[in-house]
Structure 1
Amino acid sequence: MPNLVAVVVAHDSAEALPACLAALAVEGVPAIVVDNASRDRSAEIAAAAGAAVIRNARNEGYGRANNAGVRAARARRVLILNPDVTLRPGAAEALLAAAAAWPEAGLYAPRIVEPDGRFFYQPRSLLAPYLTNPSGRRDPPEGDACAPFLSGACLMVERRFFLDIGGFDEAIFLFYEDDDLCRRVAEAGRALVHVHAAEVLHGRGRSSGSEPGRVFRTRWHQAWSRAYVARKYAVADPVLPGLLANGFKALLSGLALRRAGIERYGGSAAGAWAALRGRSALAREGLE
């Protein structure tokens, strides 16, 4: 049984997958690609690269697809990463070394480098009240460090522990799955570790190809998921303020005939309105 298997969820990811899978192969990490009903050649590209492929008949969403991949993995640990993430040489080894050094931790994440060379580090999370940072001051770590939040773009976790705490929350279709997972890991008494020597490149926004209505749909789920996790953990509920602010901006965009603004702000307002009415994200996607 391998010590580490990668799980990659793909949806119209043919452009990004080759580099992602090639980097995993160089690191000696076998991959499972869960294809969320891609309309392009994502599944074929994954199979040709030697990955095991799970083909979903429809888009199951990020969390549900990742959970399926982790259940299928036969390894002590899993590396969950987006298709637009590529490992730099030595990244997998550094993550495994960190797990050996701090076996009591729950999640390990690499240093994420953006296309412009910037080191991505989120200084706060909606669901991390145990580390308040209202101004969002950004002080990235200069070495290995515990963190209140680790990005779901790339995470390593012990497979059994991930499944024991329920994996990603399957009520969420998209967005805030990582915040929710990090909160539950912390509540289980396990640390979240940033591993500075493990470096990955993140293409940001290249995980999926473009499709009509994508902006509206994305913003809908972002607003809905934020409201869902806020209520789940009894933190400040953003539904009504988000609905009013984005509804007003959508109205102004409509008066100015700005289609981009209508899609962006209209999607956010619609997601907040759905959350206020108690409609689920899975119902919107026909998955209930």
Structure 2
Amino acid sequence: MVGLVAIVVAHDSAEVLPACLAALAGQHVPAIVVDNASRDASVAVAEAAGARVIRNPRNEGYGRANNRGVAAAETAERVLIVNPDVVLWPGAVDALLAAARAWPDAGLLAPRLIEPDGRFFYQARSLLAPYLANPSGRLALPGGDACAPFLSGACLMIARALFLDLGGFDQNIFLFYEDDDLCRRVAETGRALVHVHGAEVLHGRGRSSAPERGRVFRTRWHQAWSRAYVSRKYGLPDPSPATLTTNLPKALLSALVLRRAGVERYGGSAAGALAFLRGRTALAREELPG
């Protein structure tokens, strides 16, 4: 059995894949790249790097594609879910595996995310983590290994058996909040979410896919829809009415002054909230089977 296999979901990610896959290979971690119908050279880049490639004929979304990759990693004890714009610094994998041995009650482990400007990214609260409440969102950066309310889906390590037992990422979500949802379900099993301070990775943040027309509108649509979906799933107040009333006037004003960026940003949020209120699903928007 292979100890660790990396799962990398790509969509028009040819620019960032080489560094991601080279870092994994440098730490002796085999990679499975699940390509979400890229229109660039992502598949060729992944194959040239020696990764096993699974080609989705269309963009299945982040969670569904990761589920397919984890299912294919049949010989792995653990999987490392990695965004293509993440580069693991030397020693990061060893630090994660050492933490897994040190904290056997951990369900999820994640490295320290360093952004391109050198900042340490750490989310101090999660919509779905009432068991570790931080209402003000006060940011207190860990100085060492620490339990966390949320671990970013940019880079996560989990036992493959646990991931499969939990059903993987929620298949109803196309994009956004699938990592919050997974963290919540892991925590509900009584396992800890552990931030591993000694494992460092560089996170490009937002550079996983090449820019495309309409991307902001689509992103904001899914962000609004997914927030409403997970809120309903866990019995939280529906944020859709507030999202709609806040963003619709801004979208209309942006259209009036011919500000395209505002139309996409605010219009996408309003449209996602309205779609949820009308009972439309994210999968239906993307014409994917439920």
Report the TM-score range of the alignment, normalised by the length of the smaller protein. over 0.9
1:255, distance to aligned residue in structure 2 (A): 1.4
1:210, distance to aligned residue in structure 2 (A): 1.0
1:133, distance to aligned residue in structure 2 (A): 1.6
Tell me the equivalent position of 1:238. 239
SS at match of 2:131: coil
1:248, distance to aligned residue in structure 2 (A): 1.1
**d(CA) in 2 for partners of 1:131 and 1:92?**
27
Tell me the equivalent position of 2:160. 159
**d(CA) in 2 for partners of 1:128 and 1:223?**
19
Render the CA deviation track for 1:118-152: whole Å, top value 9, x for unaligned.
00000111101112222211001000000010000
**d(CA) in 2 for partners of 1:222 and 1:144?**
30
1:14, distance to aligned residue in structure 2 (A): 0.2
The reply to whether residue 226 of structure 1 matches residue 258 of structure 2 is no
1:193, distance to aligned residue in structure 2 (A): 0.3
**d(CA) in 1 for partners of 2:122 and 2:3?**
27
1:236, distance to aligned residue in structure 2 (A): 2.2
Tell me the equivalent position of 2:106. 105
**d(CA) in 2 for partners of 1:93 and 1:236?**
41
Give the residue type in structure 1 aligned to 2:99.
A
**d(CA) in 2 for partners of 1:22 and 1:179?**
28
**d(CA) in 2 for partners of 1:99 and 1:176?**
24
Give the residue type in structure 2 aligned to 1:27.
Q
Q: Give unpaired runs (5+ residues) of structure 1.
A: none
**d(CA) in 2 for partners of 1:132 and 1:195?**
21
1:235, distance to aligned residue in structure 2 (A): 1.2
Give the residue type in structure 1 aligned to 2:252.
L
Identity, % of aligned positions: 77
**d(CA) in 2 for partners of 1:224 and 1:58?**
21
Count of matched residue positions in the alignment of Structure 1 and Structure 2:
288
SS at match of 2:34: strand
Q: Give unpaired runs (5+ residues) of structure 2.
A: none
The reply to whether residue 11 of structure 1 matches residue 11 of structure 2 is yes
The reply to whether residue 189 of structure 1 matches residue 214 of structure 2 is no
**d(CA) in 2 for partners of 1:57 and 1:198?**
34
Render the CA deviation track for 1:187-206: whole Å, top value 9, x for unaligned.
11110000000000000111
**d(CA) in 1 for partners of 2:106 and 2:114?**
23
Tell me the equivalent position of 1:271. 272
**d(CA) in 1 for partners of 2:127 and 2:261?**
27
Give the residue type in structure 1 aligned to 2:184.
R
Across the aligned residues of Structure 1 and Structure 2, the Cα RMSD in angstroms comes to 0.6
The reply to whether residue 34 of structure 1 matches residue 17 of structure 2 is no
**d(CA) in 1 for partners of 2:195 and 2:64?**
25
